[in-house]
Amino acid sequence: MCDSVDGTGREATRNRVLGAAYEVFAEVGIDAATVEAVCAQAHFSRGASYSNFASKDDLFLELIEKVTNDRMRRAAGFVHAFGDASSAAPMPADPADVVRAIAEMATEDRTGVLPMAEVRIRAMRDPSIAEAYRTFKDRTLAQIADILGLALRAYGLSPRIASATLARIVLETWETASIDAVIAGEDAAGISALVAARTAEIGLLFADEDGGG
């Protein structure tokens, strides 16, 4: 897709192209974005062959997966830290605080929210994108379920609903709150705050009837 003009290795080239695509797709959208614009942003020449990505759609889907995997790693690292008895990381007193913290770590700024919203629109229009998106979403839900399960076990709690259902509620809350915040013109801090506030309400599912954790 983009040929390196400075001898950069293949993996480094892919990462630079993905980073450039992140900026370009967020700025102009997938339909208006061009391979030339992405390569220019990455300071590469396009060249004659697609040596890194087969198409713009392939680049777009890999970018979405990378963004999501990065935020899942941040959230999982946080939970593993306070769930590890040998760790010095303080364990939040309230499970709702854990849900809030995970949401904050897994939330992107406006640049990250826009491509995620666009892939869902593309999936509604393009069957091939829809299939890839469903596969991607299933993996994301499994990651969320694992992270929440680890957090709940650290508190000796069990959800009142199935883990798959809980993961779906959390993901849909993240997505809707992020979009609402972007529409409202919030900056990165505002997006994070709204997502965290809404997601923390899910923590009420784990509260005892007397209000305790």
Three-state SS for 212? coil
**pTM of the entire predicted model:** 0.75
Are 96 and 197 found together in one domain? yes
88 and 119 both lie in a single domain: yes
DSSP conformational letter for 85? T
DSSP labels for 119-170?
HHHHHHH-HHHHHHHHHHHHHHHHHHHHHHHHHHHHTT---SS-HHHHHHHH
Check residue 211 and give its pLDDT.
45
Indicate if 39 and 71 belong to the same structural domain: no
Residues 15 and 68 in one domain: no
Q: What is the mean pLDDT of the chain?
A: 79
Residue 207 has pLDDT above 60, yes or no: no
Q: How many domains does the chain have?
A: 2
- Are both 95 and 181 inside the same structural domain? yes
- Model pLDDT, residue 47: 54
Residue 89 in any domain: the answer is yes
The DSSP-derived string for 6-40 is S---HHHHHHHHHHHHHHHHHHH-TTT--HHHHHH
Q: Are residues 97 and 202 in the same domain?
A: yes
CATH number of the domain residue 31 falls in: 1.10.10
Give the model confidence (pLDDT) of 57-72 as tens digits.
Answer: 888 888 888 878 888 8
What is the domain extent for residue 72?
Answer: 56-206
Do 92 and 129 lie in a common domain?
yes
| 10-23 confidence digits (pLDDT tens) | 778 888 888 888 88
Angle at 109 between CA 33 and CA 198, to 5 degrees: 130
Instruction: Please tell me whether residues 44 and 106 are part of one structural domain.
Output: no
Compare 111 and 213 and report the one with higher pLDDT: 111
CATH of the domain at 187: 1.10.357.10
Instruction: Indicate if 155 and 133 belong to the same structural domain.
Output: yes
Q: Is 167 exposed, middle or buried (0-12, 13-18, 19+ CB in 10 A)?
A: buried
High-pLDDT (> 70) share of the chain, % = 82
3-class secondary structure, 45: strand
